[in-house]
Structure 1
Amino acid sequence: MLSAKSAEVVEATLPVVGGAIGDITPLFYDRMFAAHPELLRDLFNRGNQSNGSQRQALAGSIAAFATALIAAPDTRPDALLARIAHKHVSVGISNDQYRIVHEHLFAAIVEVLGEAVTPEVAAAWDEVYWLMANALIAIEDRLRAETAAAQHLDPADLWRPYTLVARYPETDDVTTYLVRPADGRPLPAARPGQYLSVRAELPDGARQIRQYSLSGVADGALRFTVKRATAEAAGGPAGKVSNYLHEHLRAGDVLDIAPPFGDVALAEGEGPVLLASAGIGNTPITAMLAHLAATGSTRRVVTVHGDRDQLSHAFRADLAQLTAKLPDAAAHVFYERPLGDWPAERTGLVDLSTVDVPAGATAYLCGPLPFLRSVRAQLLAAGVPAADIHYEVFGPDLWLGQDA
């Protein structure tokens, strides 16, 4: 895929470009949003731009793609590309936006690196960019076409209006929403573990998009669950969309929602499954567990969850009820600070040394990055192959391209 000449140049300059990527990405986004303010208003997550996580994710994905090309020039890193493509299609990234990104990204590279960007260097990195962009465009076109055909939608506009039919609290700061297509058409197909993109019109006129994992299907409605992002939890400004949904969305209101997407979904099979989550990361895990129970699965299922305490544990009752419906299942819950009068199975962080990890298990993880790193390391130590460990992380994926 990558020409031999460009591979040599990219390998030689990767340390320089990688070392400067922290300066390049902020400048790139500033330039792009100055030229196209509508992208920040209606497409990019303003909170993630504010705290810098989107910029870190972009830097990580480009560096990971370049590194993969150098290591295997004739092989395409499809796992990395699939993760990005699902995210892009779900929020409505269009093909022409790749040229916008190219224009402002390369202008930022030249501004930061100056004379180091010789014509040869520029040509080599241009080749890397368009290899990645064209591969993503092809994957995204296919995803759009398949989704549109299955649901009789326009591939250029996958958004549909959904009516909120019910909402109910899970904890003080977690709420579940049930939505049905406002046009009366059937629900879209969804795999347990996937997410929805929700587009909310905020009081300032911005139409911001957020992705929320499906926590299941109930009463002919899709169910998604949202944790209110406070300023303290967000590490910056409070989450605009999560707080808007919590404070304003009521039964009968209409939301624009895209079809379910996501490359981390429960695979069918007969082998054992380990489902591990922390905090609100148990939303896709709950959907997986609900699917296993609804289909009468006889698979060995081990669920592990970590939370602050019993009151902050969303889906606490669901975990017990769904586990009880399965013939060969066990649930293990760890609370960092369990409330004194409530039963707590384990205290502290998730520790798999106290859990019987089944041989041959496929693992699905969802939670904060420190949790993912810790649990993945424990699974590897327990003999679970890296290829059998799948993860989902909320927000920009700062782990892209790592051996996860």
Structure 2
Amino acid sequence: MNTKQKELVKATVPVLKSNGTDLTKHFYTRMFKHNPELKNIFNMGNQASGKQQNALAGAVLAYAENIENPEVLINALKSIGNKHVSLNITPEQYDIVGLHLISSIKEVLGEAASPELIEAWIEAYNELAQVMISIEDEIYQSTLSKNGGWKGWREFIIAEIVEESTEIKSFYLKPKDEKAIANYLPGQFISIKTFIPSLGHEQPRQYSLSSAFSPDHYRISVKKEKNKDLPDGMVSNTLHQKNIGDEIWVSAPAGIFYADPNSEDPLVLISGGIGATPLLSMLETQKKTLQNNTIIWLHSCRDEKVHAFSDHIEDLNRNNSWLTTHIFYETVDRDSETIKKGRIDLHKMKEEILIDKAKYYICGPEAFIKAQYNSLIELGIGKENILYEEFGPQLLHLN
């Protein structure tokens, strides 16, 4: 891009701030009308809730604001790239997205979309697309180089189903071809894809791997969402209706939220609800590698009935001196030395969690992450030592 084109893109920032979501809503409506096959790839629950439109609007705005130095967005781009790899996104699909995005800019801006502005955005999009394709190709190649690695979708069998709480089930997935599967770092996720009869097409979802790596299976633990008739609950409800022996499509592990199993740094794990799943993988990997790092885990959920893996974690806590857990229930049915009533307040826990050289991992709902992140910053923890995993589209930009 030349200097004039960059200035033209930057000049659209005020419009993107005030009307960015209108643009992205128009874009998705247009794209799904002309390319309905993409409904098999995009999360239609996030479309229905508006989260995907908001996330794209934020991403387009961030790119326009940083058009002169897009390298500052590299961590966000790598996160998006990992998500794209888990969905088997191809370079050809970037052409489709680019066509509808540029057309949407023309249609939404109307007379304000001069030929020079459109040309500038075409150049901007093409440059971004090439960056993303390069990032994703590197991830694809890295995965293929692993023992048991693969690209795209692979058929797995549900080998075991375990009820972990009143709303969470674990699914043990084994490859149908009985060949090796790729290793992963604790905290990473896989995508699964299954047909949703009520929608009439397939839907993918990302689920954190909830155990240390085992060479013969993957384990995911899925919360059954209450809104079973809305797109954001259809996949979890469909999974909860599946049986042992059913087949499901799975992508190779991906993600930038993980703990280095070879690091000796202390870990402070902070989770809300189903956000415990990637942190449990970190905990079990820690036990498996015998690193004996100090780990402090704070977990919050509604009550004992919905608390998944409670017995397992209590057993780990009791038998490993390197682990200390603090459990918070909004509703407490019985008195317990290990259960605290209420929600996590990191300021009240600062003596337990402020540890030299510690890394802090947060996972849970958007509001939960933001609250815990801000508390850690107020307590003097550097941003570089705080990592978080946001389920769904990337709406938070805290680092």
In the superposition, the TM-score normalised over structure 1's length comes to: 0.92
Pick aligned residue for 1:64 from 62, 83, 87: 62
Is the 8 Å Cα contact of residues 148 and 182 (structure 2) preserved in structure 1?
no
How far apart are the structure 1 equivalents of 2:67 and 2:219?
Answer: 40
How far apart are the structure 2 equivalents of 1:103 and 1:61?
Answer: 17
| Residue in 1 that maps onto 2:76 | 80
| Residue in 1 that maps onto 2:20 | 21
Residues 5-404 of structure 1: pairs in structure 2 closer than 5 A: 5-40=4-39, 42-70=40-68, 72=69, 75=71, 77-151=73-147, 155=151, 158-203=152-197, 205-216=200-211, 217=213, 220-231=216-227, 236-237=230-231, 239-247=233-241, 249-267=242-260, 268-340=262-334, 345-355=339-349, 356-357=352-353, 358-399=355-396, 402-404=397-399
Report the 3-state secondary structure (helix = DSSP H, G, I; strand = E; otherwise coil) of the residue aligned with 1:25: helix
How far apart are the structure 2 equivalents of 1:3 and 1:266?
Answer: 41
- Shift in Å, 1:340: 4.0
The aligned length equals 393
How far apart are the structure 2 equivalents of 1:27 and 1:309?
Answer: 42
- Shift in Å, 1:218: 5.4
Is the 8 Å Cα contact of residues 366 and 391 (structure 1) preserved in structure 2?
yes
How far apart are the structure 2 equivalents of 1:251 and 1:78?
Answer: 41
- Shift in Å, 1:9: 2.4
Report the 3-state secondary structure (helix = DSSP H, G, I; strand = E; otherwise coil) of the residue aligned with 2:270: strand
- Shift in Å, 1:281: 0.5
Is the 8 Å Cα contact of residues 164 and 250 (structure 1) preserved in structure 2?
yes
Is the 8 Å Cα contact of residues 10 and 67 (structure 2) preserved in structure 1?
no
Write the deviation string for residues 354-396 of structure 1: whole angstroms up to 9, x where unpaired: 2222122111111111111110011111221101111111111
Larger mean CA deviation between 318-327 and 273-282 belongs to 318-327
Write the deviation string for residues 157-206 of structure 1: whole angstroms up to 9, x where unpaired: x2211111110111111100111111111221111101111111233552
How far apart are the structure 1 equivalents of 2:310 and 2:18?
Answer: 44
How far apart are the structure 2 equivalents of 1:261 and 1:324?
Answer: 32
- Shift in Å, 1:344: 5.7
Is the 8 Å Cα contact of residues 12 and 64 (structure 2) preserved in structure 1?
no
Report the 3-state secondary structure (helix = DSSP H, G, I; strand = E; otherwise coil) of the residue aligned with 1:105: helix
Is the 8 Å Cα contact of residues 149 and 181 (structure 2) preserved in structure 1?
no
Segments of structure 2 that go 5 or more residues without pairing to the other structure are none
For 1:17, the aligned partner's letter is L
Is the 8 Å Cα contact of residues 193 and 265 (structure 1) preserved in structure 2?
yes
How far apart are the structure 1 equivalents of 2:123 and 2:76?
Answer: 18
Is the 8 Å Cα contact of residues 230 and 238 (structure 1) preserved in structure 2?
no
RMSD: 2.0
How far apart are the structure 1 equivalents of 2:48 and 2:80?
Answer: 21
- Shift in Å, 1:152: 6.2
Is the 8 Å Cα contact of residues 210 and 221 (structure 2) preserved in structure 1?
yes
How far apart are the structure 2 equivalents of 1:360 and 1:5?
Answer: 46
Report the 3-state secondary structure (helix = DSSP H, G, I; strand = E; otherwise coil) of the residue aligned with 1:277: strand
- Change beyond 3 A, Cα 1:390–1:36: same
Segments of structure 1 that go 5 or more residues without pairing to the other structure are none
Write the deviation string for residues 98-147 of structure 1: whole angstroms up to 9, x where unpaired: 11111111111121111222223223322322222110001111111221
Is the 8 Å Cα contact of residues 297 and 326 (structure 1) preserved in structure 2?
no
Is the 8 Å Cα contact of residues 271 and 362 (structure 2) preserved in structure 1?
yes
For 1:50, the aligned partner's letter is A
In the superposition, the TM-score normalised over structure 2's length comes to: 0.93
For 2:208, the aligned partner's letter is S
- Shift in Å, 1:45: 1.5
Is the 8 Å Cα contact of residues 360 and 384 (structure 1) preserved in structure 2?
no
Is the 8 Å Cα contact of residues 148 and 179 (structure 2) preserved in structure 1?
no
Report the 3-state secondary structure (helix = DSSP H, G, I; strand = E; otherwise coil) of the residue aligned with 1:96: helix
- Shift in Å, 1:341: 5.1
Report the 3-state secondary structure (helix = DSSP H, G, I; strand = E; otherwise coil) of the residue aligned with 1:311: helix
How far apart are the structure 2 equivalents of 1:285 and 1:344?
Answer: 19
- Shift in Å, 1:275: 0.8
